[in-house]
Structure 1
Amino acid sequence: MQCASIKQPTGGPKDSIAPVVLNEYPKNFSKNFKEKKISITLDEYIKLNNQQKEISVSPDMDKPPQFKIKKKVLEITLPDSLEQNTTYTINFGKGLVDYNASNPIINYSYVFATGDQIDSLSISGNVTNALTKEKEKEVRVLLIPVSQDSIFGKKKANIFAQTDTIGNFKISNLRANTYRIYALKETNNDRIYNGADELIGFLKDSIVLDKDLTNINLQISKGTPLKFRVVDKKIENTGRIHLVFNRGIKKPNLVLLNDDENDKSKIVKYSEAQDSALIFINNLERDSLKFVLSENNTVLDTILVKKSNLKLDRSIVPTTSPSTGKVDRVKHLTISSLTPIKLIDKSKVKLIEDSIAKTNFQLQLDTNVANLYHLRYNWRKQKNYEIILEEGAMQGYFGEKNKEKKLTLAYDDSDNYGDITFTFTAIDSARQYIVELIDEKKEKVFRRDILNNSIGKVAYKEFPGGKYSIRIIRDDNKNGIWDPGEVYKLTQPEPLVYLNKTFTIRANWEQNESFSLQELNDLN
C-alpha cells in the first residue's frame, strides 16, 4: 500500500497587488523641511529592490541618504548638507516592493522643500533611437542649468529622470530657470557623457522654463569621438595587419616608416565606414612596423604594431558563397579571400557536372567589389556539381597561393526570386537621399542606393523572396552615409523615415510601390 504524497497548498491566486502607503512623516510635499529622518509606513512587509538603479534623488545630495527597512516601515536618514530653498524629490521607480511577491509601487515619489515653497514646474517628453526610431527605455534624461552645464565635466548632472518602458519621461518639481537637456544611454551610470561609446540626444537650444513643457523629443545616437584613438592593432597569422579606429577617417592615408620598398608595394583596404584598415605587405621579417596615419593630409597618429611570436601562414584561403551549397539561375558561385587576389587562373579551376568536366563556365571579377569573383554556369536541375580550386589557382600580390579546395554544389529549384520597383515622389531637387533595403529588425542592410531628382526610382530585380523594409535618409551633407548627432557641435542626426510597413518579395512576381518623401523633407 502506498501512502498519499503530501503537497503544499496552492494558496490561491498569485499576489499581484502593490503595497499601499498608509502614512508619511513628515507629510509628503512638506515645506521648510528641517527633519533628519523620513518614515514611510505601508500596509504590508516591504523590501528594497535594485536600490542603486531604481531609487534616485533629484537634485543630488552631497552624501546619499540612507535607506533602512523595519518590517512595514521605510526609514530614510538624510545628510546634514541639504541646500537651502531647494525642492528635493526622491523617486522610487520600481525599487520599493512587497516582501513576498516583489510587487512594486509605481510612480511613487516623496517630495519636500527646504524653503517656503515647492517648485512645481515640469518637463516631459520621450526618447527615441535616431537610427531605428524605436522608443528607448531606461535612458537617463538630464536637466542642467546653463550656468553649470556639466554634461562633459567631472561633476554629475543632479536633476534627472529615467524613461519608462515606452520611452516617456517626466521631470517634476522644477524651479523656473534656463536649462540644457540631454538624454544619455550610459555605459557606467555616472550621469556624465564619456564619449562615443555612449548614446546621447539633445536639443540644440537651451530651454527657458517658466511654464510646464511637454512633447520634448530627444533622439539618441552614437556621435563621433572628440579625440581620435586606435582601438585595436595586430598582425594576424595570415600576415594581414588589422587596425581599428574609434571613428571613421576622411581621406585616410597610411605610410609605413623606414621601409620604402614595403611602403611602395603595400595594399591598404579601408572599411566602408573608414573606421578600420587592412594592410598587406610583402616582407614581414621585422619584429615591429611603424605607420603614420593621416586624415586630409594632417597627421593623426603614429602606430606601432608588433609581430610577437606569430607562426605565419601566408597561403590564400578561399571563401565561397552561397554557404548553403545550392546555386540557381540568379545565385551563382562567388569566390573570394581575406587576402588580396591578384588573379584566379581559370585553367586551374575545375567544374564537374555528374562526373563530367565542363569548361563552358564564366569566371569574372566583380565590377564593384574588389577581391570578389563570380563563377557563372547554366546550372541544371537534378545535377550534382563539384568545384575544384587546384593548388595555385588563386594568386596574391606577394607570391601567396591557395591550397587545393573542393566543394560540392547542387541546383536549388525553389526559384524564390521576385522584382519590386519603388517610385519616389516629392523629391527635393536640391537634396540627396539614401535608400536602404533592410530586414524587418532594421539591423541588416541588403542594399544602399543614392537617390536624387534625376533618379526617382529604385528597382530590386530578381531579389531573394522574403520580408523587407525600406529606410530613406535625407543625406543633407551628401556624403553617402547617415550621420549621427554631434553633441560637441550641437548638430542633430540626419533625418530619416521608414516605409510604414514591411513588404514581401514573392517568387516570380513583379510589384510596384510608391513612396512620398514629403514627410522627410518637412523634418527639421
Structure 2
Amino acid sequence: MRNLKPLIYFILIGTIYSCAKISAPLGGPVDEDPPKLLEANPTDQSLNIKPEELVLTFDEYVQLDNPSKGIIITPRINKEEVIFSANKNKITVALNQELEENTTYVFDFQKSVVDVSEKNPAENLKLVFSTTDYIDSLSISGRVDYIFPPNKMDYKNVLVGIYPLNDTTDVFTANPYYLSQVDTSGNFSISNIKNGLYRAYAWKDDNGNLKAEFKNEEYDFLVDTLHIENNISAIQFNLSKADLTPIRILRTSNFGRNFDLILNKNAVQPTINQESLGEEYFFIESDKRIRIYPNTAKEDSIAFPIQLQDSTGFKVDTLIYAKFPETDRKPEKLTITANSGKNFFGKLDVELKFNKPVLAINTDSLFVKYDSASLFKINPTDFYFTDSTKRDLLKISLTIPDSISKEIFTLIAADSTFKDIEDQFNESVLEANYRKLKRESLADGISGRIEGASPPFILQVLDTKNQIIREEYLDSQDFEIKLIEPGTFQLRVIEDRNGNRRWDPSNILEKRLAERVFFFKGEDGKDQIIIRSGWTLEDQVIVASPPTGINTGKKPVDN
C-alpha cells in the first residue's frame, strides 16, 4: 500500500491539471455570427451629455482590430488622447478630453470590433450622441473615381473629409472635422453634420495618417464652398496626383565642359532665352536635370535667362551664369534608342533618341533595307530634329510603295553615322526593324462622337498593355480613326481645357481642377473595344465622366 501512495498522488495531480487546462473545442460548426451589441453607455442618440468614456457590451468575447485607424470619430477630436481597450465582452473608449458644446458626435466602429474566435466584425456598429438637446441630422453623399483608374480598382483607404470654412487647417495639415471611408464601390456618405460652410476633399490615405500627402497620394477637392443647410447628394470627386512642391533649381555644376542645372522635379518645356542657342549652345533634358552643351570651351561666363514650369503651373524665372571650361574629362559615349518593333502601313515613321545633341549626320551610311539587295537611301529631306535647340530627337519619315511585298524593313545606321556636339561618333551599327502591314489585314476605322465635354480633345488609342498606339488631336466633338490594326483597345479622351496638348493635374492653391480623362464604354459597361480586319465601327459614343463637383441638388456658393 505504501508504494501505491506516490502513484495515486501523481494521478490526482494529472487529473487536476487536465481539468484546469483551457483549450479550443474540437470539431463543431464554425462561428459565423458577428458580435451583437447588448448595451451601450451612453445609449445611442443620447442628448445633453459629455461622457468621459464609452462602454459597449456584446453577447460574446470581443477584441479590437486596429482601432486607432479603423474607428472613425466625427467631428474631429484629439484621437491621440483616446484610449481604446477590450476586456472580455466589453469595449471601452476613454476620451480623456473635453467635448465641444452644441455638437453631435458619431463613433463609427466600422470593422474594428471582432469576436475572439473567428474575427467576425460587428455589423453597423455606430454610436451617436449630442452635447446639446438635439442631434445634427444633415448629410452629404456621393462618389469617388480615379482620373487614371488602376488596373485593379481599389477604394481601400480612400477617404472623404470636410473642414469648416473658418478652420485654418486643410487636408494636407490636419485631420478633417467630419470624415468618411469610401466603400468598395466608390460611394461615400457623411451623416450628422452641423449646419454651416465647409471645404471638401477626397484622398487615398495610403499611410493611414488621415491626411493627404500631395507628393505621393491621389486627391481631389471641391473648388466651391459647401453650404450645408440641407442634405447634399451626388457629389463627385476624381482622384489624381498633383505634386504641389514648387519647382526650383537645387544646384548648378560643371560636367566636363558642359553645365548642369539640377532640379527638384522635372520641368515642362523649359525655355532658355540665349541668342546663340541652337548655334553655339544646345541643351538636353533628363531626369530632373538640364545640361547645356557648348560647341567649344568658353573662357568667360555666359548669361542664360531661364524659365522653368512644372506640371502644376509653378514657375521659375531666373538668370544663370554658366562656365564652359577646358577639361580633361572624357566625354560620354553617344548612344541611340530607336522605336524599333513598330508596325506601319504606307508611311514608315522612325524615331531616334540620342543622349546628346547631334550636330552631323552622314547620310551615305543611313538607309532602310528590305531584302539582301534592296534598300531605300535616306536623304536630308526625309528627316528632321523636333527641336533645333536640343537636336536629340530625330524623326525619319518614308513612304513605302504598296508594290513592295516585303514585310520586314530594317533601318541601318553604320558606325560613325552620327556625330555629337562633343565630337563623339556612334561606335556600333544601329539596326531597327519595322513590320509593314497589308491593307487587307487592317480595320477600316472607328468613328463617332464625344458627348458631355467641350473640345479640344486628345484622343488616345491604348493597347492591352496600356501603351498609346495612336493619338489624335481633335478640335471638334467628332472623331475618326482610319486604318487601324485589328485588336482589343481602349479609347481614352483628355479634355484639353487650356489647349496645351497634354494632360494637366490640379492645383489646389489656384483652385484649378485636373483636366478630365474618360474612356469609351460599350453597352455592356466595359471599356474595351474590339475591331477586326475589314471592320468599320461607326457612331461610337464616348460619354464624358462626371466632373468634380455637385452634379445635382443645391448648388455650392462662392467663397
| Same fold? TM cut 0.5 | yes
Distance 1:14 1:279 in 2: 70
1:140–1:161 contact (8 Å) kept in structure 2? yes
Q: CA deviation at 1:201?
A: 2.2
Which residue pairs with 1:252 in the alignment?
A: 270
Which residue pairs with 2:532 in the alignment?
A: 506
| Amino acid paired to 1:138 | N
Q: CA deviation at 1:163?
A: 1.0
Which residue pairs with 2:20 in the alignment?
A: none
| Amino acid paired to 2:428 | E
Cα deviation digits, residues 170-214 of structure 1 (max 9, x gap): 111212222222213346555555546443322232222223222
The 1:330–1:336 alpha-carbon spacing in structure 2 relative to 1, beyond 3 Å, is same
| Amino acid paired to 2:94 | T
Q: CA deviation at 1:409?
A: 6.0
Q: CA deviation at 1:238?
A: 13
Name the count of aligned residue pairs: 499
Distance 1:14 1:201 in 2: 43
Query: Does residue 1:59 correspond to 2:78, yes or no?
Result: no
Cα deviation digits, residues 230-260 of structure 1 (max 9, x gap): 58989889979575564755x732369xxx9
Q: CA deviation at 1:111?
A: 2.1
Q: CA deviation at 1:15?
A: 4.8
Which residue pairs with 1:39 in the alignment?
A: 55
The 1:118–1:477 alpha-carbon spacing in structure 2 relative to 1, beyond 3 Å, is same
Q: CA deviation at 1:75?
A: 1.5
Which residue pairs with 2:457 in the alignment?
A: 433
Distance 1:404 1:209 in 2: 68
1:52 match: secondary structure = helix
Distance 2:135 2:145 in 1: 31
Structure-2-length-normalised TM-score: 0.72
1:347 match: secondary structure = helix
1:214 match: secondary structure = strand
Which residue pairs with 1:85 in the alignment?
A: 102
Distance 1:303 1:64 in 2: 52
The 1:305–1:216 alpha-carbon spacing in structure 2 relative to 1, beyond 3 Å, is farther
1:327–1:411 contact (8 Å) kept in structure 2? yes
Q: CA RMSD in A?
A: 4.8
Unaligned runs of 5+ in 1: 1-7
Query: Does residue 1:337 correspond to 2:358, yes or no?
Result: no
Distance 2:276 2:455 in 1: 45
Which residue pairs with 2:419 in the alignment?
A: 395
Give the fraction of aligned pairs with identical amino acids, expressed as a percent: 23
Query: Does residue 1:371 correspond to 2:386, yes or no?
Result: no
2:385–2:394 contact (8 Å) kept in structure 1? no
Q: CA deviation at 1:434?
A: 2.5
Q: 1:393-432 alignment to 2 at 5 Å?
A: 393-405=417-429, 417-424=442-449, 431-432=455-456
Which residue pairs with 1:202 in the alignment?
A: 221
Q: CA deviation at 1:313?
A: 4.5
Return the match for 1:293 from 296, 306, 310: 306
The 1:172–1:406 alpha-carbon spacing in structure 2 relative to 1, beyond 3 Å, is closer
Q: CA deviation at 1:66?
A: 0.3
The 1:304–1:503 alpha-carbon spacing in structure 2 relative to 1, beyond 3 Å, is farther
Which residue pairs with 2:139 in the alignment?
A: 122
1:362–1:376 contact (8 Å) kept in structure 2? no
Q: CA deviation at 1:401?
A: 0.6
| Amino acid paired to 2:529 | F
Distance 2:211 2:415 in 1: 57
Unaligned runs of 5+ in 2: 1-23, 310-314, 388-392, 523-527, 552-559
Which residue pairs with 2:248 in the alignment?
A: 229
Q: 1:434-513 alignment to 2 at 5 Å?
A: 434-439=458-463, 443-453=466-476, 456-461=478-483, 463-501=484-522, 502-507=528-533, 509-513=534-538
2:513 match: secondary structure = coil
2:413–2:429 contact (8 Å) kept in structure 1? yes
2:247–2:267 contact (8 Å) kept in structure 1? no
| Amino acid paired to 2:416 | G
Distance 1:516 1:436 in 2: 15
Cα deviation digits, residues 68-119 of structure 1 (max 9, x gap): 1213321111113222232222222322223343332344222222223222
Return the match for 2:42 from 4, 26, 34: 26
| Amino acid paired to 1:438 | L
2:510 match: secondary structure = coil
The 1:391–1:14 alpha-carbon spacing in structure 2 relative to 1, beyond 3 Å, is farther
Distance 2:405 2:26 in 1: 65
2:76 match: secondary structure = coil
The 1:361–1:516 alpha-carbon spacing in structure 2 relative to 1, beyond 3 Å, is same
Distance 2:471 2:48 in 1: 62
Cα deviation digits, residues 256-310 of structure 1 (max 9, x gap): 9xxx989962323569xx9975644446899x999753259x8535779999x99
| Amino acid paired to 2:512 | T
Distance 2:318 2:426 in 1: 35
Which residue pairs with 1:3 in the alignment?
A: none
The 1:197–1:459 alpha-carbon spacing in structure 2 relative to 1, beyond 3 Å, is same
The 1:437–1:55 alpha-carbon spacing in structure 2 relative to 1, beyond 3 Å, is same
Distance 2:81 2:128 in 1: 16
1:228–1:300 contact (8 Å) kept in structure 2? no
Distance 1:270 1:178 in 2: 46
Query: Does residue 1:318 correspond to 2:336, yes or no?
Result: yes
Distance 1:522 1:91 in 2: 30
The 1:16–1:266 alpha-carbon spacing in structure 2 relative to 1, beyond 3 Å, is farther
